[in-house]
Amino acid sequence: MVRITVRVNGKEYTREVVESRTLLHFLREDLSLTGTKEGCGAGECGACTVILDGQAVNSCLILAAETDGSTIETIEGEAKNGKLSRMQEAFHNHHAVQCGFCTPGMIMTIKDLLRRKPKPSRDEIIDGIEGNFCRCTGYEQIIEAVLDVTGQLGKKEGLRHVR
Amino acid sequence: MLPVNLEKRKDSGMFGDLRSGETRVIGKRTPRVDSIAKLTGEAIFVSDMAFAGMLFAQVKKSPHARARILRIDTRKAEALPGVRAILTGDELDYRVGLYMVDKYILAKGEVRHYGEAVAAVAADTTAIARQAVDLIHVEYEKLPPVLHPLDAIREDAPLVHPQLGNYDYIDTAFSPIPGTNICNHTKLRKGDIETAFKRSEWILEREYTNPSVQHVPMETHVAIVSWKHDDQVTIWSSAQSPFTLRNLFCMAFKLSHRKVRVIVPYVGGGFGGKAGIHIEPLVACLSRKAGGRPVKFTATREEEFSLLPCRSALTYRVKTGVSSDGKIIGQKMTMYWDSGAYADYAVNVTRASGYSAAGPYEIPNSWVDAYTIYTNKPFGTAYRGFGHVEFFWGIERHMDLVAHAIGMDSLDFRKKNALRPGSVTLTGEKIEEHTGNVLTCLKAAEKAVGYGRLTAGEKKREQRSGMKIGKAVVALHKAPAMPPFTATGVILKMNEDATVTANLSLTEIGQGTYTALAQIIAEHLRFPLHRIKISQETDTDRDPYDWQTVASKGLLLTGNAALLAAQDLLRKSYELASQILRAQPVDLDHDKDKVFILHNPEASVTFREMAVGYAFPDGRSIGGPLIGIGSYIAQGLTHLDKETGQGLPALDWTYGAHGIIVEVDEHTGEYNILKVASVFDVGKVINPDAVRGQAIGGMLQGLGTAICEGYIYDQEGHLLNPSFTDNKIPTARDLPLEVESMVVETPQLDGPYGARGVGEHSMIAVAAALGNAIQQACGAELTHMPIRFEDVWRSLGKKEPIDNWITKSPFGSCKSAPEIRKNRPVQ
Ligand code: FES
Ligand code: FES
């Protein structure tokens, strides 16, 4: 067991953890922050993405014990004072959510991307979210949500009616 | 019964008004009703749930594809502190099965596939349970497995289920052949096939194959079960089908339905893999053995690939006879479906694909033999498209190959043979004007990709890249595969503030039906959308019955039940208002807030005043809570004749087409998908963004199947690639450069506001479109799916295709080429 203190979404937590506990399980089970999801537990799907000291990481690949003194951002900190963030708002408006299981990780990845690149091109968005699997949406509406939030969407084609 | 006076209002037909086109909420852009909970991380999935005293389960799995279980020693595991229950097949005598009751909860005597559960543990923590599973020692006697379905139907093949003749099964739909590995034989006979072939100018016969594929919902299967005294069982599950799960559970354990309760909260994707019944019985038995403590089992990603089911592999042989003017006059279709070790949904996939096997084309003389074949592999189940993704790879490739053989343009060939009003389907159903329009879909896709020519920009691109551009257009169709008596119910409860809460048990697994249902209810009630709530969690104790959330039937069936419930709610509101206002119901009308007398609108009563009963000024009260009830059952469907396959299986046909543009490097076989344009005849768009989400999401899932996904086994039946590293699924990089979504609206006469389902269709025939366009670009003639770069390269070099799905050494990769993607097309 080791004792760690972390700051998650602005709140400080001190806990004893077993050395082998992943950050993902620490967040979900010890802190009951279940917004972050587990899709593979092996660093392959991105569902568990959180921001650790300013960088998006797969929390299933990080040991909680390593994060002592760190600042962590998770999906639970994204909406502030009962108001969705602009990114969440855009996901909502563009149907960038279907089952929602990839969504928390996706939002955290994009948040990190936009900090590094406030106006990513379509290709940069694609490269940015490439590590986050979404089996439902086909990514297009997610990309459009990011383009919208960064003021780059232009006129959206949408669904075309034909006769 | 029609609501008292509503028949005279224009938006009031049973299925909503199909003609006026004036809707307030239907067809309008509106966000999903469930996205905020999902976006904030507040949506609770079963994987997020925990209960006091909850135990954690782990499963011991077979390392062999086929083996006799000689002995299981659990003594060491039992001695481990924190272990609360251990189970082996010896002490469980329950069989489950959706259509064919052929599967023990834990393997008994013999294991039939790699990854099958042989023992299970519930313990205080996952770590202890895992340790306990490692301490369980199983002694096996390895037996030679039968892996390929074509081997499995040979006379000397070992039998996967020697007891097949003794199993219970649904005999109105299926025909097992005891003493063989064939657990179902679906037949279809229409016209006179032999004469047709004699009359044919050309005959072409080819074979097409697909490997097994994993659904990959991002949330793996998970269940929590507590089995309390007096057999009170509560199941929280990531299931798609709470009522079918309950029914099968009760049948397996011989329990009354009132004792078993299934609760389904948010579900992280299903795609068919979470339909039916899977891990719940095992988890339930662990709970019972642990004295009723809740037990949770969460499948690992690896278990998702082999403990849980996959999509069946298919070998499809098609023989087509064509007249001198390019009409198909006869077609013989033989399907060998690889069921894996258990029948589960594969028998019904076989049946459904059997009666749709020709695609949306008229074949006057047809003959189908579709076999479901047991093998020693993880078993197949429902997967988005329900067989159609697999056999459309064959049939739509075949349409191109036949067209080439007879020297006709393949799109002209399709148009010539497409179903149109007056055509008769394989099962004898006559196509009507309102069934939907394949031709319009084909033409829209043709136009969207500029089929048949290259633009100046495309020519320039070819010169620049040295690659060849190919284009293709394919057609598709699918009807829901379901029993003729498929039914559903909706209950609408008016709340004190005149908002409405809907209870129903179609589950929301990401497909967006709850949003569409809220729109349908709001439209019909004339209420603003925000006043409608669809209760997210489904609960068999509290919600009305729904068969299953499968088959793209939810919008139509539950949509109609919702319309009926809305009508019932209005009828009851009018009845109550008529007493309050002293007017006949026929003289009343309503708006979003109140019911009023039509010719004297001043005289009114609000829904708020009536919602839970109306109180007169002196305190006397009438009415009571306003509750609308709607029940709907599929109309007019029949069983199919077992010898001829004739009958009416289709609730509705959704037609569609994909157009695709691909560029291929003729030397290396590498290719890029420049554009996919998809079009579906959805009857009526309820929510444009949701339709587009289904169209694009399904298309990319279809591309996954087309470009890289598939189970690879070694020759002993071990699954070699149960992970995302070795079994890739599409990422954002695999999105085609350009994606276009279109709809045709030929109203479905018995669909809510004319709508029909489109959840699965976007995935169908995408692979064939890709294969056809690649062939058009470079001549590679592909008949195996998926299409990896080296498969194209092999085909170009006329090297034998590698069937590496049962292999000595696996090949293959799934590669994106972002550097080419950045070179955007100039059109
Ligand atoms: S759960 Fe961490 S990457 Fe999949
Ligand atoms: S919304 Fe279901 S996985 Fe992305």
**Chain segment B470-526, per-residue pLDDT in tens:** 999 999 999 999 999 999 999 999 999 999 999 999 999 999 999 999 999 999 999
The model's pTM: 0.96
Q: What separation, in Å, do the N-terminal and C-terminal C-alpha atoms of chain A show?
A: 67
d(CA A151, CA A139): 18
* Cα pseudo-dihedral B519, B524, B525, B528, rounded to 10: 30
With H, G, I as helix, E, B as strand and everything else as coil, classify residue A156. coil
User: Which residue's CA is minimally distant from atom 3 of ligand 2?
Assistant: A134
Beta bridge partners of B312: none
Is B753 within 8 Å of B520 (Cβ atoms)? yes
Angle between helices A103-116 and A122-129 (to 10 degrees): 130
Task: Kindly list the distances between the CA atom of residue B221 and the CA atoms of B98, B106, B298, B410, in Å, as whole numbers in the listed order.
Answer: 18, 17, 6, 42
* pLDDT bucket at A156, cuts 50 / 70 / 90: confident
Is B540 within 8 Å of B262 (Cβ atoms)? yes
What confidence score (pLDDT) does residue B6 get? 42
**Chain segment B430-474, per-residue pLDDT in tens:** 999 999 999 999 999 999 999 999 999 999 999 999 999 999 999
Taking the Cβ of residue B52 and every Cβ of chain A, the question of whether any pair is shorter than 8 Å is answered with no
d(CA B443, CA B454): 17
Q: In what order do the strands lie in the sheet with B67-73?
A: B110-111, B67-73, B137-142
Residues of A in contact with B509 (CB under 8 A): 99
- Interface ipTM > 0.85: yes
Q: Of all residues in chain B, what percent carry a pLDDT higher than 90? A: 93
Is B815 within 8 Å of B731 (Cβ atoms)? no
What confidence score (pLDDT) does residue B728 get? 93
Longest dimension (CA), chain B: 92
What confidence score (pLDDT) does residue A32 get? 97
Q: What separation, in Å, do the N-terminal and C-terminal C-alpha atoms of chain B show?
A: 56
With H, G, I as helix, E, B as strand and everything else as coil, classify residue A29. helix
- Nearest alpha-carbon partner for B266 in B524, B68, B33: B33
Residues 6+ apart with CB under 8 A from B142: B64, B66, B67
**Chain segment A101-133, per-residue pLDDT in tens:** 999 999 999 999 999 999 999 999 999 999 999
**Alpha-carbon dihedral sign for residues B641, B647, B648, B653:** positive
Answer whether residue B9 shows pLDDT above 90. no
Q: Of all residues in chain B, what percent carry a pLDDT higher than 70? A: 95
**Alpha-carbon dihedral sign for residues A133, B552, B771, B153:** positive
Half-sphere exposure in the Cβ direction for B718 (13 Å, CA): 9
DSSP code at position A83: B
H/E run at residue B781? none
What confidence score (pLDDT) does residue B313 get? 96
Instruction: Give the number of beta-carbon pairs within 8 Å between A and B.
Output: 209
Angle between helices B410-417 and B388-406 (to 10 degrees): 110
* pLDDT bucket at B805, cuts 50 / 70 / 90: confident
Q: What is the token pair recorded at B216?
A: 């990959």
What confidence score (pLDDT) does residue B437 get? 97
- Residues B514-541 have a mean pLDDT of 98
Residues 6+ apart with CB under 8 A from B414: B361, B399, B403, B442, B473, B474, B475
d(CA B454, CA B451): 8
CB of A49 closer than 6 angstroms to any ligand 1 atom: no
d(CA B401, CA B397): 6
Q: What share of chain A is helix, strand, coil (3-state, %, to 5)?
A: 35, 20, 45
Q: Which of A148-157, B249-258, B293-302, B773-782 has the lowest mean pLDDT?
A: A148-157
User: Which residue's CA is minimally distant from atom 4 of ligand 2?
Assistant: A134
Task: Kindly list the distances between the CA atom of residue B620 and the CA atoms of A140, B8, B613, B623, in Å, as whole numbers in the listed order.
Answer: 58, 33, 10, 11
Average predicted confidence (pLDDT) for chain B? 94
What confidence score (pLDDT) does residue B521 get? 98
Taking the Cβ of residue B811 and every Cβ of chain A, the question of whether any pair is shorter than 8 Å is answered with no
d(CA B170, CA B741): 39
Q: Tell me whether strands B588-590 and B594-597 are parallel, antiparallel or unpaired.
A: antiparallel
Angle between helices B766-778 and B688-707 (to 10 degrees): 60
What confidence score (pLDDT) does residue B504 get? 98
Tell me the shortest Cα–Cα distance from A34 to chain B, in angstroms. Answer: 6
Answer whether residue B282 shows pLDDT above 70. yes
Instruction: Tell me, rounded to whole angstroms, the distance of Cα B557 from its chain centroid.
Output: 15
Answer whether residue A45 shows pLDDT above 70. yes
Tell me the shortest Cα–Cα distance from B689 to chain A, in angstroms. Answer: 6
- Residues A17-43 have a mean pLDDT of 97
- Nearest alpha-carbon partner for B365 in B175, B173, B200: B200
Beta bridge partners of B476: B656
Residues 6+ apart with CB under 8 A from A112: A51, A54, A55, A56
Taking the Cβ of residue B266 and every Cβ of chain A, the question of whether any pair is shorter than 8 Å is answered with yes
**Chain segment B66-120, per-residue pLDDT in tens:** 999 999 999 999 999 999 999 999 999 999 999 999 999 999 999 999 999 999 9
Answer whether residue B274 shows pLDDT above 70. yes
Ligand 2: residues with CB < 6 A are A 97-103, 134-137; B 218, 269, 510
* 3 state SS for B709-726: CCCCEECCCCECCCCCCC
Residues 6+ apart with CB under 8 A from B441: B475, B655, B656, B657, B679, B680, B681, B744
- Nearest alpha-carbon partner for B389 in B712, B768, B660: B768
Please identify, by atom number, the ligand 1 atom nearest to the C-alpha of residue B301: 4
H/E run at residue B801? none
d(CA B648, CA B656): 21
**Chain segment B743-754, per-residue pLDDT in tens:** 999 999 999 999
- Nearest alpha-carbon partner for B271 in B704, B717, B754: B704
What confidence score (pLDDT) does residue B802 get? 66
**Chain segment B364-412, per-residue pLDDT in tens:** 999 999 999 999 999 999 999 999 999 999 999 999 999 999 999 999 9
Task: Go through the domains of chain A in sequence order and give each one's CATH number.
Answer: 2-77 (3.10.20.30), 86-149 (1.10.150.120)
- Distance between Cα B348 and ligand 1 center (Å): 34
Is B661 within 8 Å of B474 (Cβ atoms)? no
Q: In what order do the strands lie in the sheet with B538-539?
A: B83-88, B117-123, B55-61, B295-298, B222-228, B232-237, B260-264, B538-539
* pLDDT bucket at B16, cuts 50 / 70 / 90: low
| Residue A80 burial class via C-beta count within 10 angstroms: exposed 0-12, middle 13-18, buried 19 and up | exposed
What confidence score (pLDDT) does residue B799 get? 72
Instruction: Tell me, rounded to whole angstroms, the distance of Cα A58 from its chain centroid.
Output: 10
Answer whether residue B413 shows pLDDT above 80. yes
Answer whether residue B798 shows pLDDT above 80. no
Query: Given phi > 0 = left and psi -120 to 50 = alpha, else beta, which region is A43?
Result: left
d(CA B150, CA B165): 21
Report which residue type is found at B751: G
- Nearest alpha-carbon partner for B393 in B442, B335, B339: B335
Taking the Cβ of residue B21 and every Cβ of chain A, the question of whether any pair is shorter than 8 Å is answered with no
Is B276 within 8 Å of B342 (Cβ atoms)? no
Residues of B in contact with A158 (CB under 8 A): 688-689, 692, 741
Task: Go through the domains of chain B in sequence order and give each one's CATH number.
Answer: 4-30+486-633 (3.30.365.10), 46-143+221-298 (3.90.1170.50), 313-482+638-822 (3.30.365.10)
| Strand segments (E) across B212-312 | 222-228, 232-237, 260-264, 295-298
Taking the Cβ of residue A152 and every Cβ of chain B, the question of whether any pair is shorter than 8 Å is answered with no
User: Which residue's CA is minimally distant from atom 2 of ligand 2?
Assistant: A99
- Distance between Cα A48 and ligand 1 center (Å): 5
Answer whether residue B765 shows pLDDT above 80. yes
Answer whether residue B248 shows pLDDT above 90. yes
**Chain segment B631-640, per-residue pLDDT in tens:** 999 999 999 9
* 3 state SS for B315-358: EEEEEEEECCCCCEEEEEEEEEEEEECCCCCHHHHHHHHHHHCC
**Residue among A26, A37, A38 to mutate when testing ligand 1 (max atoms within 8 A of CB):** A38
Is B401 within 8 Å of B782 (Cβ atoms)? no
Q: What is the token pair recorded at A55?
A: 């960088």
Answer whether residue B39 shows pLDDT above 70. yes
Count, in order, helices (H) and strands (E) of chain B.
Answer: 20, 33
Is B783 within 8 Å of B397 (Cβ atoms)? yes
Taking the Cβ of residue A19 and every Cβ of chain B, the question of whether any pair is shorter than 8 Å is answered with no
Answer whether residue B3 shows pLDDT above 80. no
* pLDDT bucket at B4, cuts 50 / 70 / 90: very low
Is B207 within 8 Å of B398 (Cβ atoms)? no
- Residues B243-254 have a mean pLDDT of 97
Mutate to test the interface with A, among B30, B39, B240 (most CBs of A within 10 A): B39
Answer whether residue B131 shows pLDDT above 50. yes
Instruction: Tell me, rounded to whole angstroms, the distance of Cα A4 from its chain centroid.
Output: 23
Contact A95 B31 (CB under 8 A): yes
Taking the Cβ of residue B731 and every Cβ of chain A, the question of whether any pair is shorter than 8 Å is answered with yes
Count CB neighbours of B811 within 10 A.
Answer: 12
d(CA B116, CA B131): 19
Beta bridge partners of B187: B369
Ligand closest in space to the Cα of B731: 2
- Read out DSSP for B129-177? HHHHHHH-EEEEEE-----SHHHHTSTTPPPS-TTGGG--B-TTT----
| Residue B370 burial class via C-beta count within 10 angstroms: exposed 0-12, middle 13-18, buried 19 and up | buried
What confidence score (pLDDT) does residue B12 get? 47
